[in-house]
Amino acid sequence: MSTTQNATHSKVLIIGSGPAGYTAAIYAARANLNPILVTGTEPGGQLMITTEVENYPGFADVIQGPWLMEQMRAQAEHVGTQMISDYIKDVDLTSRPYKATGDDGTVYTGDTIVIATGAKARWLGLDSEYEFRGKGVSACATCDGFFFRGKEVAIVGGGNTAVEEALFLTNFCSKVTLIHRRDTLRAEKILQERLFANDKMEFLWDTTVEEVIGNEQGMTGLRLNNVKTGEKSTFDAEGLFVAIGHDPATELFKDKLEMDELNYIITKPDSTETSVPGVYAAGDVTDHIYRQAVTAAGMGCMAALEADRFLATLESAHKVEAAE
């Protein structure tokens, strides 16, 4: 799958192609660092399944997620980024230049690496859930809640994310029903107190979603199952938000970079630098709080600027050594 005739060494090797990766590429290319970007199996990342984007600065009208990613990719290529369609299956961060091995064995090397492999929302795993993604089903209330103004929606989950997103949805929706498979929440108590005090909230305990139902226009409701009684029911709702967590794409870097208990890559404060000098992490692969396209893009910018500074420092040190 890789383009083997292309150069495989770069001053900046970028792994991943969402907003963070593309923005890192734009800034690195404009700094004459001749970056190589390896796209991975899902070029464009999570925005490729986001039908409508209304909160990315610079666009008065609603835009499409895939279109935004196409524009970012085109801009990165226009300023000089070399795009390679490959999937990185192994990395060696023990010595510079750092090495990344592609799916067919091609070895890419970089004096620095920007990791922008992103994260994926956990889904319920229902065929009907996939069918209505972008037509009522979402995994990001912050991204899509605004589209459900004055509507009744449901949200699935029981942790901090579910509670925070449920509270966010009450700013727009006429009613928000939290569906949880247990009879208590795992979220922090202070968040629970705010949730239970909100008069727009309703709750369905000991309940799971078995099917999303709807028509060509979009989702109209849910088929539910009570896990204690086995009772089946139908629930009317125009939106379903799945808030059962995210999984960062960091398996490749396990035991090679410092990570937190959720397997997100840890970076230094106010920086994208990881535990290995010259290796940077940007976007959802290191951010489990904001998870926005605009914050990912900002971190991509930071990573490229930090990589540029790192390389400049190395070059100065080499010049001093040569002079001695």
228-245 confidence digits (pLDDT tens): 999 999 999 999 999 998
- 132 confidence band (pLDDT: 50, 70, 90): very high
The identity of residue 152, as a single letter, is E
**Distance, CA of 39 to CA of 45 (rounded, Å):** 9
Q: Evaluate if residue 73 carries a pLDDT over 90.
A: yes
- Whether residues 178 and 237 share a domain: the answer is yes
Q: Is residue 152 part of a domain?
A: yes
Does 144 participate in catalysis according to the annotation? yes
* Domain annotation covers residue 254: yes
* Containing structural domain, residue 141: 127-242
Mean pLDDT calculated for residue range 275-284: 98
Residue 1 counted as domain residue:
no
Has 143 been annotated as catalytic?
Answer: yes
Q: Each residue of 82-106: pLDDT tens digit?
A: 999 999 999 999 999 999 999 989 9
State whether 37 and 79 are in the same domain. Answer: yes
Query: Could you tell me the CATH number of the domain that includes residue 179?
Result: 3.50.50.60
Verify whether residue 173 is a known catalytic residue: no
pLDDT confidence of residue 5: 44
Rg (CA), the chain: 22
309 and 202 share a domain? no
Same domain, yes or no: 51 and 112? yes
For residue 265, being part of any structural domain is answered with: yes
Helical spans, DSSP H, in 132-285: 141-144, 160-169, 189-196
Whether residue 2 is contained in a domain is answered as no
The confidence band for 161, taking pLDDT boundaries of 50, 70 and 90, is confident
> Is 24 a member of any domain?
yes
Q: Per the domain annotation, does 4 fall within a domain? A: no
pLDDT at 322 over 90: no
* The domain boundary residue, chosen from 193, 226, 242: 242
For residue 7, what pLDDT band results from cuts at 50, 70 and 90?
low
- Asked whether residue 262 falls in the same domain as residue 238, the answer is no
Last residue of a domain, one of 196, 214, 242: 242
pLDDT at 246: 87
Q: Are residues 282 and 184 in the same domain?
A: no
User: Is there a contact between 121 and 128 (Cβ–Cβ < 8 Å)?
Assistant: no
Catalytic residue among 92, 111, 127, 140: 140
Residue 102 and residue 173 in one domain: no
Of 222, 213, 217, residue with least CA distance to 155? 222
pLDDT higher than threshold 70 for residue 289: yes
Predicted local confidence at residue 2, as pLDDT: 41
Q: Given this model, what pLDDT does residue 42 score?
A: 86
The pLDDT assigned to 302 comes to 98
181 pLDDT above the threshold of 60: yes
Helices then strands (H, E): number in the chain?
7, 17
Per-residue pLDDT, averaged over 246-273, amounts to 96
| Stretch 283-291: mean pLDDT | 93
* C-beta separation of 274 from 266 below 8 A: yes
The mean of the pLDDT values for the chain is: 94
Domain shared by 135 and 231, yes or no: yes
What's the structural domain count of the chain? Answer: 2
Catalytic residue among 86, 143, 284, 301: 143
Q: Could you say which of 86, 111, 144, 308 is catalytic?
A: 144
pLDDT of residue 4: 40
